[in-house]
Chains A and B, each alone.
Chain A
Amino acid sequence: MADLEARKVIELGYGGNERLVMNMGPQHPSAHGVFRMILTLEGETIVAMDSVIGYLHRCHEKLGETLTYAQYPSIASKTDYVAAMTSELAYVLAAEKIGKIEVPKRAQYLRVLVGELQRIASHCLWLGTWCLDMGGALGGGATVFLYCFREREMVLDLFEALTGARLLYGFHQVGGTRYDLPEGWAKHCRETVDHIDRRIDEYESMLEANTPFLVRSQGVGVISRELAQEVGVAGPLLRGSDVDFDARRDDPYSSYPDFDFKIPVEAAGDCYARYRVRMQEFRESIKIVRQVLDGLPAGPISSRPGLKSVGQVRIPKGEAYARVEGPRGEVGCYLIADGGPKPYRMKWRGASFSNLSILPHIVPGHKVADVVAIMGSVDPVFGEVDR
C-alpha cells in the first residue's frame, strides 16, 4: 500500500508549467557516492521524487559464484566499504551455517570486537558527512566532519595494526578469523575507546545545544512506525521509528548474548531521533568493546587448519541465510552451496538498499534543503546499494 502511495505522488508529473524538474546527482556534493534524484519542485517545495541507482554496480553476486570460499570474504568487504567487517562476517556466517562449522570462542569474541569497532568508525563517518550535508563544506558542518574524521582515523589505526589494512580488511574467514591480536593492541584499543567516549560527549554538547542543528533535524523526514515496517527499513532508521529490533539481540550470532548492552529506541521517527539512536549506539559499542577486552578467552582463532590453496575450503550441499547487524542495519547473505569450493549462488541483502527505498515516501512535501538532511540521516553507502 505504501508503495502505491509513493507511486501516486511521483505521477503528479513531470509536466506542469509551474514546476521545475531538477536533477541532483549522480555527480553532486551530497550524493554520498553516485545517486541520482530527480526532484520536481514547486518553488522550493518538492512535490515528487524519483531515484536512479545502479551507477556503482560491480556484479558482486556473480563474483560470489566465481570466487572460492577462501577468496570471497576479502571481496565481500567491498560491498559496504565503510563497514567492511560487517559484510565479510555475513558471508562467512552463511558458509559456516551450511557447513555446520564450529567457531572457537576466541574467534567469536574477536568478531564481536571488530564488528563494534567498525560500528564506531562508521558512525563517525555518518555524523561527519551528515553535518557536512546540513552545514556545508564552508561552515560548521566541516568542523564536525573534521572532528569525526580525527576519531575515525584512530579506529582505522587499530585496524591497520590488526590486519595491515585501513579500509578493506579480509579479517574473517570460514571457521574463525585470519589474524590474532598483536602484542599491546588491547591496551591501545582501550585507550582509543576511552578517548572516543570523551569525544562523543563533546559532539553531543556541541550539537544538542545548537539551535540551527535542532531546527534542521527535528520534525524533518518523519518515518512512521507503520511505514518503517512496511518498507522494511533497517538499523537506526527502524529503531528511530519506535521498532525495537536488533539482530544482535533478536537473532544472536557470534556469542553476542555473552555481553550486556542495550538497544536504543526512539519514538519520534525524525532525523533527530535517528541521530539520537546512533549516538547511543556509539556508547553501547564502546561498552561491548570493553567487555570483549575484559573477557577475551585464550585459545585458537580458527577451527580449520591454515590454508594452503584457495580451493581448500569446501562446503557441503545446502543453503542458508545469515544476518548481521551492521552500522546501517541488517546485512544478510544468502548462500546456496553445491559441495564444491565455490557457492552455486549468492545473494546480498544490503541495509542501505532497503533504507534508501524510504526516500520517495518521505521526501515530497519537504524543502530542497531538507532532502540532503534526510539523505544524510539515512546514511546510505552506494557500494552496498548497487553491489
Chain B
Amino acid sequence: MIRHVITAFVLLNAIVLIVTYLTYVERKFAARMQSRIGPYRVGRPHGWLQPIADALKLLIKEDIVPALADRPVYNLAPIVFLIPSFLIFATVPFAPGLGLADLNIGLLFFLAVSSLEIVGLFMGGWGSNNKYALLSAMRAVNQIISYEVPFVLTALIPVLLAGSLKLSLIVEAQRGLWFVAYPVIGQLAFVMFLLATIASENRVPFDILEAESELVAGFRVEYSGMKFALIQLAEYTHMFGVSCLGALLFLGGWLGPGLPGPVWFLLKALFIFLLVTWVRWSFVRIRVDQILGLSWKVLLPATLALLMATGFWVALRSGHVA
C-alpha cells in the first residue's frame, strides 16, 4: 500500500516535470521550423527556465470567473479534464516491473480513461456561458467521439498481433520485430494511429476546438490563471500519454540495445510527440465537416479493413484457417 502511494507520488511528479519540459521542447522545435530561436532569455543556456517561469506567471495571475458562468460546472471543469489525463499513466509500464499497475486489460483501461477527457472539455465549454466556448464544446463532442472509434480500432491491431491486452505483453511480443516494422500492416496501422492521435489530441490540422482564428480559444476562452494552467497541463499530459501508448504499441516500448529501458521508452515517446508536432506546425486547420467526413468515410472503413486483414493474417500464421 505505502509502496504504491510512494510510486504514484513519484510518478505524478515525474510526469508533471516531463510534461512541463515537453512544452519547452515543442517551442524550440517549432521555432527551429519557423527560422526563429524560441525561448532564450529566461535561464541560460537557451532559456531552459522558461517553462518554470510560465507556470509561476500563471500561478500569480488573477482568476476571473465570468459573471453569468455556471459556477460549479465552470470551476470543476479543469479538474475533471486533468484527472483522466494523469490516470492513464497508471497502466503504462516504463520498463519491466517499472509502472504503477500492469493490468491484464491495461490497454482497455487506457482507452476508456483517456476518452473521459471529453466530459471536462464539454463542462468547460458549457459552463463558461460564452458563444465561442459553446460552439467549441459542440465541435469537441463531434470530433472526439468520431475519432475515438478509429483510434480504438487502430490500437486493436497490435493487440491482435500480440494476442494480449496487457501492455507489457504487447511490448514483449515485439522482441523480435517492432510492430511498426511489420510489412504493410504495421506501417499503415502506425500512420492511421498517428492520424487518430492528432485528431483526438485536437492538434492542427484537427484543432477545430481551439481554432483561435475563429473561436478565439474555444472552450477555454474564459479561463485564466491557474485554471488555464490546469487545462494546458491536462492537454499536454494527455498528449504525452498517447505518445507513450504509441511507443508501447508500435515502437517496442522499452526494447532497444545499449541504453536502459526507460530511456528508450522516453525517447520513443518523444519521437512520436515530435512527429505530431511536426505535422502541427506544417499544416493549416481543416473544417469541421471535412474532419468528420475524413473520420467516418475514410479512416473508419480503412481501419476496419486493416483490422480484418490483420485478423486473417494472424489466423493464417497460427494455422487456424484450414
Residues on A lying within 8 angstroms of B by beta carbon are 20, 22-24, 28-30, 41, 43-44, 131-143, 146-147, 150, 206, 210, 212-213, 215-216, 367-372
Contact = CB atoms under 8 A, between A and B. Distances in A.
B159 interface: no
A136 B211 contact: yes
B212 interface: yes
A40 to B, nearest CB: 12
Contact of B285 (A20, A24, A134): A134
A368 B135 contact: yes
Given A20-B131, A143-B282, A146-B36, A212 B213 contact: no
Contact of B34 (A24, A143, A369): A143
Most buried by A among B34, B134, B135: B34
Interface string B192-236: 000000000001110110111111100000000000000000000
B289 interface: yes
A370 B131 contact: no
Interface string B222-256: 00000000000000000000000000000000000
Given A215-B290, A369-B208, A140 B214 contact: no
Contacts of B134: 20
A142 B286 contact: no
Main secondary structure of the interface of B (DSSP, over half): loop
Nearest to A23: B131
A133 B138 CA distance: 21
A215 B286 contact: yes
Most buried by B among A134, A150, A372: A134
Contact of A140 (B139, B204, B287): B204
Contact of A138 (B33, B138, B210): B210
A139 B207 contact: yes
Contacts of A147: 34-35
Contacts of B288: 44, 367, 369
Contacts of B281: 139-140, 142-143
B28 interface: no
A23 B290 CA distance: 24
B35 A150 contact: yes
B9 interface: no
Nearest to A141: B284
Contact of B283 (A41, A135, A370): A135
Nearest to A137: B212
A214 to B, nearest CB: 10
Contacts of A20: 131, 134-135
Contact of B282 (A132, A140, A146, A372): A140
Contacts of A150: 35
Most buried by B among A136, A150, A370: A136
Most buried by A among B138, B283, B284: B284
Interface of B: 30, 33-36, 131-132, 134-135, 138-139, 203-205, 207-208, 210-216, 280-290
A368 B213 CA distance: 10
A28 B211 CA distance: 12
A139 B213 CA distance: 11
Contact of B214 (A206, A213, A371): A371
A136 B283 CA distance: 10
Contacts of B139: 44
B205 A140 contact: yes
A44 B132 CA distance: 11
A138 B35 contact: no
A28 B131 contact: no
A371 to B, nearest CB: 7
A143 B284 CA distance: 10
Nearest to B134: A20
A92 to B, nearest CB: 37
Most buried by A among B213, B214, B282, B287: B213
A74 B211 CA distance: 39
B214 A216 contact: no
Contact of B207 (A23, A131, A138): A138
Nearest to B31: A146
Contacts of A135: 204-205, 213, 283-285
Contacts of B212: 29, 136-138
Contacts of B30: 142-143
B284 A140 contact: yes
A137 B284 contact: no
A136 B207 contact: yes
Contacts of A142: 30, 34, 281
B278 to A, nearest CB: 10
B219 to A, nearest CB: 15
A28 B217 CA distance: 11
Contact of A30 (B138, B207, B214): B214
B216 A131 contact: no
Given A29-B212, A139-B204, A140-B204, A367 B285 contact: no
A136 B286 CA distance: 11
B212 to A, nearest CB: 5
Given A146-B36, A212-B283, 14 more contacts: A20-B135, A29-B212, A44-B139, A135-B205, A135-B285, A136-B204, A136-B211, A136-B284, A138-B212, A210-B284, A213-B283, A216-B286, A367-B288, A369-B214
Contacts of A28: 216
Contacts of A212: 205, 283-286
Nearest to B290: A215
B35 A372 contact: no
B131 A139 contact: no
25 contacts: A20-B131, A22-B132, A28-B216, A29-B212, A44-B135, A44-B139, A132-B213, A135-B213, A135-B283, A136-B204, A136-B210, A136-B211, A137-B213, A138-B207, A139-B204, A139-B285, A141-B213, A143-B34, A212-B283, A212-B284, A216-B286, A216-B287, A369-B208, A369-B288, A372-B213
B23 to A, nearest CB: 12
A213 to B, nearest CB: 5
A138 B210 CA distance: 9
